[in-house]
Structure 1
Amino acid sequence: QVDVGEKTLQTVTSLVPYYSEEELMGKTVVVLCNLQKAKMRGETSECMLLCAETDDGSESVLLTPERMMPAGVRVV
């Protein structure tokens, strides 16, 4: 679940090899919300966590704001 300000959205991620659930809980991240819902592994994903990944996929890191921002601010 991701708090995007006015609501909470569900996301399904492939970041399991890189982050534990505990590491993701409460983390401030950059999320795309203007996507169509998609079924992934039998679950509905309503948004996408943005990350940077090496070409060989050996490392993936979530994009995070430089400073604290309120949940739901726009990415411009």
Structure 2
Amino acid sequence: MATVAGLALLGTLADALEGAVTQRRGREAAVITFLVAASGISAAGIGSAFWALLAGLFVHLVLDWKRS
């Protein structure tokens, strides 16, 4: 059942990734956020979703600061 549900969500995932990386600005932060979340990293009892948001925000701020 979980496999069927996962397969049903592949289209949604593909559309979300395409939307995230279509625009040039913010592409790197979106990809880093996705990769950290997909990695399943857990540190200090905090799950990968939190670390993904932190990593994406950090990359976005560093690249935005660098551009200006």
Calculate the TM-score normalised by the size of structure 1.
0.25
More strand, by proportion: 1
More helix, by proportion: 2
